Amino acid sequence: MPNSNDNLTLSSFEPYKEEAGEEYMNEKQLKHFKNLLITWKAELMEEVDRTVSHMQDEASNFPDPADRASQEEEFSLELRTRDRERKLIKKIDKTIDNIDVDDYGYCESCGVEIGIRRLEARPTATQCVDCKTLSEIKEKQVGI
């Protein structure tokens, strides 16, 4: 399904321009968000590939314990970052599945529209701003 957005990077994506009276989460909007998510996932996957290559190229058994420890710490940080990205890729895949079954763009807690701008800022969002804020307040109170 090649189109003009295939070479799009997240840093250069075009914000969605709503037309007056346009229905929320219509086919055009869903396509916009699906393309955004696919691009984001592709960028994350490229980063994973670069990390694997970098770690293979840089892997050395330094005789100096300080050098070896520095390299292990660097690799550990990279692996933690990639683990977070792996979890994000799963979330992106789930969001794409939701788009495919017309279950995208509405708050899973209260059912209201999440909103185009919020979804562009966080395409994997599943809650409206109000519900997310309330959820974060509850998390902080439990953590006390």
Do 109 and 142 lie in one domain? The reply is yes
Do 91 and 46 lie in one domain? The reply is yes
Do 137 and 90 lie in one domain? The reply is no
Q: Of the candidates 35, 37, 78, 85, which has an alpha carbon nearest to the alpha carbon of residue 59?
A: 78
Instruction: List the CATH number of the domain containing 81.
Output: 1.20.120.910
Structure confidence at residue 28 as a pLDDT band (50, 70, 90): very high
pTM (global) more than 0.85: no
Do 56 and 95 lie in one domain? The reply is yes
**Six-digit token pair at 67?**
């050098």
Structural domain contains residue 5: no
Do 39 and 109 lie in one domain? The reply is no
> Is the pLDDT reported for residue 12 higher than 70?
no
**What does residue 112 show for φ and ψ, rounded to 5 degrees?**
-80, 165
Does the annotation place 107 within a ligand binding site? yes
Q: Of the candidates 78, 12, 18, 64, which has an alpha carbon nearest to the alpha carbon of residue 40?
A: 12
CA angle 8, 106, 35 (to 5 degrees): 15
Structural domain contains residue 123: yes
Do 40 and 73 lie in one domain? The reply is yes
Q: Name the range with the highest mean pLDDT among 50-54, 67-71, 119-123.
A: 119-123
pLDDT tens sequence across 97-123: 999 999 999 999 999 999 999 999 999
Structural domain contains residue 68: yes
Helical segments of the chain, H only: 27-58, 65-100, 116-121, 129-143
> Is the pLDDT reported for residue 2 higher than 60?
no
Structural domain contains residue 90: yes
Q: Of the candidates 125, 124, 128, 50, which has an alpha carbon nearest to the alpha carbon of residue 89?
A: 124
As a whole number of angstroms, the distance between CA 65 and CA 12 comes to 43
Does the annotation place 102 within a ligand binding site? no
Q: Of the candidates 27, 50, 35, which has an alpha carbon nearest to the alpha carbon of residue 3?
A: 35
Q: How many domains does the chain have?
A: 2
Do 55 and 117 lie in one domain? The reply is no
Residue 84 lies in domain: 24-102
Does the annotation place 131 within a ligand binding site? yes
Residue pair 68/61 in contact (Cβ under 8 Å)? The answer is: yes
Does the annotation place 23 within a ligand binding site? no
Do 31 and 98 lie in one domain? The reply is yes
